[in-house]
Amino acid sequence: MDFPAELKRLVARVETGLDRHVPPASARPARLHAAMRYSLEAGGKRLRPVMVLAAADLCGAPPDAALPAAAAVECLHTYSLIHDDLPCMDNDDLRRGRPTAHRAFDEATALLAGDALLTHAFALLATAYADRPALAADLVRELADAAGSARLIGGQMADLLAEKQADATAADLDFIHLNKTAAMIEASLVLGALVGGAATARVEALRTAGRHLGLAFQIVDDVLDATADSATLGKTAGKDAKADKTTYVKLHGLDASRRIAADHTARAREALAAAGGDTTFLLALASAMADRRT
Amino acid sequence: MDFPAELKRLVARVETGLDRHVPPASARPARLHAAMRYSLEAGGKRLRPVMVLAAADLCGAPPDAALPAAAAVECLHTYSLIHDDLPCMDNDDLRRGRPTAHRAFDEATALLAGDALLTHAFALLATAYADRPALAADLVRELADAAGSARLIGGQMADLLAEKQADATAADLDFIHLNKTAAMIEASLVLGALVGGAATARVEALRTAGRHLGLAFQIVDDVLDATADSATLGKTAGKDAKADKTTYVKLHGLDASRRIAADHTARAREALAAAGGDTTFLLALASAMADRRT
């Protein structure tokens, strides 16, 4: 398999899904929809929606069946970035190498664009899968649980609280990574598997793979923040150390952090093997996520 | 029918629904869940969830079947208030006579509590109605559409834009009222009707009633802002005139505004009659909404 070509093909399908399943920038009110599109089109890695499509392909979903689910996941991820960048949160000026939404528009518009992308994710799932209502309800429940107060948002909150306390523990940090980062990566594989009609054991194997991939991803993020430069990352580097933030690197050191990330990647590969089928692409993606430079 | 007693009974059921179907304040992370509960328990009128329950009763839903839908609607409404009160939006210090969420906690916590309540609304619908998946999907779609970028959030955005332009027209104002206020009141009656398994014609009659009730409600809001005092309202009065905001009162004057509100109430009563069944409570609620002093 030619991994870069296959990744490119999946990213192109994600773009098609977003184009089809998100209102155009001209929809009324235009400023709101322009801000939604601006943030969606900032050109991230599309990692999560690619995982939705790859899991759906693995589980035998018909072509294009998972495009709405992939678009919903990217809408949800983009909302979380917009809100995370706001002045009252991380107060970031740069995201993916471009001005953040509240810099390009204004704070109120960014707030509402985030709210609208979050809401749209659920509208899209309920509408696009209306002819398979049990699937629609399952997809909404999985995504809402992953994004909810016990997981994604809970992880964000715990992250904010940890920044203010010098004595955050390894257990605190694991809670943050598990929920702030891994929840949505788990959900991405699970949503794809559900669209593909996978049996429970296979769905759960993919959930486990997603959890370890997510944990590895966040540890690599901490490592990159400590070692890369802003131009390469497309966002402000060295922020964690500057803020004296509790990270894997601060708690465990660089070498151990790399080792723990590699261990999570290995466990993700085992779970993918347990899921069965042709996991060539997902295994290559796991390696690419572990070895990434940005 | 003893309207105040029946209203009190329905409000008590709403409180039961919220207690059962929203995570406790102690759930991890506690600060996030405490902020969610603080805003939910600020003791509003519970107008929207009461309408969910009344419509469900009207359409013959079993007792308690609509409690999760009512709780979801109140979670969604409360999120919209929390975000609307934020410094980058209306920058309000008081809501329902108590400090707003970002005053009682902090801005980041209020932002995340709003996000979490919005997300929870959809998780709750998908989970509580999992044994009736077609209903679950319909409820999610109705609520997400009402709350989305073309309706609730679109209305908020248009409202913000109108504040900055001196020449907002009556058509602009109608767009704002229809979406910022009426969308969620429509959705409340529609969700109740769906839980009750109502036929399409009845659902649509209730949707029309909700639209007119919502429009009347917002015009009365504009009138009260111009005529009542902060202590009575439990929020800052006279804000619209101070901000030179385009309102029904500014565009049409007090007397015409009252006349238009009364006309919408009359049309809501007609639609309720068309919905059929024992609409005594909903008719009394329409009168109470039209005649309210806060």
**DSSP conformation letters of A47-75:** HHHHHHHHHHHHTTPPTTTTHHHHHHHHH
Who among A114, A119, A154 is closest to B32 (CB)? A154
Test B109 with A150 for CB contact under 8 angstroms. Answer: no
Residue A193's CATH number: 1.10.600.10
* Nearest residue in chain A measured CA to CA from B144: A123
Rounded to an integer, what distance in angstroms lies between the CA atom of residue A180 and that of residue A220?
14
Asked if pLDDT for residue B165 goes beyond 80, the answer is: no
* Contact state of B137 with A133 under an 8 Å Cβ cutoff: yes
Rounded Cα gap, residues A237 and A293, in angstroms: 12
| Nearest chain A Cα distance for residue B203, angstroms | 18
Q: Which residues of A touch B144 (CB under 8 A)?
A: 119-120, 122-123, 126
B20's tokens: 């059962």
Host domain of residue B38: 3-289
Chain B residues near residue A125 by CB distance under 8 angstroms: 140
CB–CB contact A111 B129 (8 Å): no
Pick the closest to residue B18 from B82, B70, B65 (CA basis): B70
**How many domains, chain A?**
1
Residues of chain A with C-beta less than 8 angstroms from the C-beta of B174: none
Q: How far does A76 lie from chain B, in Å, by closest CA?
A: 10
Q: Which distant-in-sequence residues (6+ apart) come within 8 Å of A71 by Cβ?
A: A14, A17, A18, A20, A21, A22, A49, A124
Kindly report, residue by residue over B125-164, the tens digit of the pLDDT. 999 999 999 999 999 999 999 999 999 999 999 999 988 7
Q: What percent of chain B has pLDDT over 70?
A: 97
Please tell me the predicted confidence (pLDDT) of residue B245.
78
Amino acid at B93: D
| A31 chain-B contacts, CB cut-off 8 A | 157, 161
Question: CA-CA distance, B214 to A163, in Å (whole number)?
Answer: 43
- Kindly state the average pLDDT of the residues B163-192: 92
- Between the two ends of chain B, the Cα-to-Cα distance in Å is 23
Looking only at the bridges linking them, the beta strands covering A94-95 and A98-99 are antiparallel
Does residue B269 form part of some domain?
A: yes
Please tell me the predicted confidence (pLDDT) of residue B97: 85
Identity of residue B140 = V
Give me the pLDDT at residue A96, please.
81
What are A51's two structure tokens?
């995982």
Closest by CA to B194, choosing from B249, B134, B239, is B134
Residue A116 has, within 13 A of its CA and on its CB side, a CA count of 32
Interchain proximity B33–A149, CB inside 8 Å: yes
CB distance A244 to A166 below 8 Å: yes
Tens digit of pLDDT at every position of chain A (294 positions): 899 999 999 999 999 999 999 999 999 999 999 999 999 998 789 999 999 999 999 999 998 999 999 999 999 999 999 999 999 999 999 988 899 999 999 999 999 999 999 999 999 999 999 999 999 999 999 999 999 999 999 999 999 998 877 778 899 999 999 999 999 999 999 999 999 999 999 999 999 999 999 999 999 999 998 887 766 666 667 777 777 778 889 899 999 999 999 999 999 999 999 999 999 999 999 999 998 887
**In a domain? residue B294:** no
Note whether B78 and B39 are within 8 A (CB).
Answer: yes
Contact A161 B134 (CB under 8 A): no
Is the confidence at residue B235, as pLDDT, over 80? no
Specify the range with the lowest mean pLDDT, choosing from A33-37, B33-37, B40-44, B124-128.
B40-44
* Residue B233: band (very low, low, confident or very high) from pLDDT cuts 50, 70, 90: low
Q: Classify residue B202: in a domain, yes or no.
A: yes
- Express each pLDDT in B69-91 by its tens digit: 999 999 999 999 999 999 999 99
Contacts by residues A6-12 (CB-CB < 8 Å, ≥ 24 positions apart)? A6/A281, A6/A284, A7/A50, A7/A281, A7/A285, A7/A288, A10/A46, A10/A50, A10/A53, A10/A54, A11/A46, A11/A50
Cβ atoms of A128 and A157 within 8 Å: the answer is: no
| Selection from A108, A117, A110, A99 nearest residue B164 by Cα | A108
Q: Do B140 and A140 touch (CB under 8 A)?
A: yes
- What residues contact A6, with CB distance under 8 A and at least 6 apart? A281, A284
pLDDT digits (tens, 9 = 90+) for B182-212: 999 999 999 999 999 999 999 999 999 999 9
Q: How far is it, in rounded angstroms, from Cα B21 to Cα B24?
A: 9
Predicted pLDDT of residue A246: 81
